[in-house]
Amino acid sequence: MRRAICVLVAALLAVVLLAEGAAQAAPAGPACPPPVEDEPDAGELAHLGPALKPGAAFNILAVGVGADVAPVSASSGVVAPGFFSQLSHALDAAIHGVHLVVTARGGRGLLAPVQLDIIRAALKQHAYQLVLWQTGTVDAVQDEPPEEFYQALADGADAVAAAGADLVLVEPQYSRFLEANADLSPYLSAMQEVSAVPGRLVFHRYELMHDWEDAGLIDLEHAAAADRPAVAGRLHACLAGELAHVLLTGAASVR
């Protein structure tokens, strides 16, 4: 049974690696589609306001998010391929001169409690305005108790708040393979519940990708092999644009 779980985790991570590797080699492609359904209201992100101004440093701690983890700055012309460079450009298009620096911690295949320890250690070493925490896939595949997952998220959210930063929980990437082999619903619900206070929110990546695939708007899994780099590049650019919108809306919503 344990071997079967490990094989499944490896297969799921291979799907993610394929998407990320293709995205690094591709331009963004055509314009992005809107969400099929109305996007949930973004929460308040009070610590982002001072950081999202021209010339200000915007420091992000990323845990479990993407293969593209080098420091990037659109304003300085230093561009790394992949998701975070797309995010940097999206923010810079809205607020010129944003200096985005991303610090990645952790690795693939980690459960939420292990990621929690990584976050706590990183917050002691450096000051961040934002923590992006992608989690849930491995926990769901390995059928970890949802209550333990929730507690890890809650403890992590408290640690981020105590460090003077905002938290964005990033849902797993959607795939039909993942949907068929794991029940993510209790883990997605836990993410939503933990984020229901100011300074925390969920980036609904799973829902966005699901909607886009169902509508045939961006469907990486059904793309021909020759088209996958372009489709993956467009997917990452569109997700980065959506996340930039969520961050800006959350920062602007602070009363």
Rounded-to-integer distance, Cα 166 and Cα 157, Å: 9
Q: What is the pTM of this model?
A: 0.80
Mean pLDDT per block of 10 residues along the chain (255 residues) reads: 36 35 42 63 74 81 64 38 70 78 84 96 94 94 96 97 94 90 95 92 92 88 87 87 86 67
Q: Where are the domains of the chain?
A: 2-31+44-252
**What pLDDT does residue 39 have?**
52
Rg (alpha carbons) of the chain, rounded to whole number: 17
75: exposed, middle or buried (Cβ count in 10 Å: 0-12, 13-18, 19+): middle
Rounded-to-integer distance, Cα 9 and Cα 17, Å: 12
**Element holding 169 (H helix, E strand):** strand 166-170
**What pLDDT does residue 41 have?**
53
Residue found under tokens 């999202």: 52
Q: What is the CATH number assigned to the segment(s) 2-31+44-252?
A: 3.40.50.1110
Rounded-to-integer distance, Cα 128 and Cα 206, Å: 25
